[in-house]
Amino acid sequence: MGLGNPGKEYEASRHNIGFLVVNRLARAHDIPLQERKYKSRWGRGKIEGHPVILAKPRTYMNLSGDAVKLFLAPFSLTANQLIVIHDDLDLPFGRIKIKEKGGNGGHKGIESIMRATGSGDFPRVKVGIGRPPGGMDAADYVLQPFDHAEKQLLGEVIANAQEALELLLRAGLQAAMNLYNRRGT
């Protein structure tokens, strides 16, 4: 489940990096995201030999849990079978960090998912977007598009997040954490 906000005005925003990663995974593994049900846009396929469902909530970020809760039930999935891809203000731009479970770290989308599922026991792939400059409000910062320098590197960042998810599926959570949580970028 890649997190973001629906709508053209948010398409290129920092908050939508989860959507961008899911889009790349879908293209790379020929998984069309054509289904529109359970407040999500999604598709089924295989990555690294594992059956997967790639999804993007069609709710706003702060209501991501509504879509996740609706999505898990019909597929008989539990929260710990979910992998959430999202932006992280506390990581420098481009840094990937994988977390097995835990709190919301101040992320409203993760908070919503935890509230809706009653659990924080789901892996996350966090993609760093850096801190807002000066005294800028974090809420305003995450809704802005990437700046020029970030746009130059964005393709590489999304590719790294894709590789992290593929490694997670191929070799397991611990192997992915060992590699990506030690990297500087």
Active site residues: 15
Q: How far apart are CA 135 and CA 41, in angstroms?
A: 35
- Tell me if residue 19 falls in helix, strand or coil: helix
Q: How far apart are CA 99 and CA 133, in angstroms?
A: 26
- DSSP H or E segment with residue 179: helix 173-180
Q: How does DSSP classify residue 171?
A: H
Whether 102 and 73 have beta carbons less than 8 Å apart is answered as no
Give the DSSP per-residue string, 92-158. -TT-EEEESS---TT-HHHHHHHHHHT---S-EEEEE--PPSTT--HHHHHTSBP-HHHHHHHHHHH
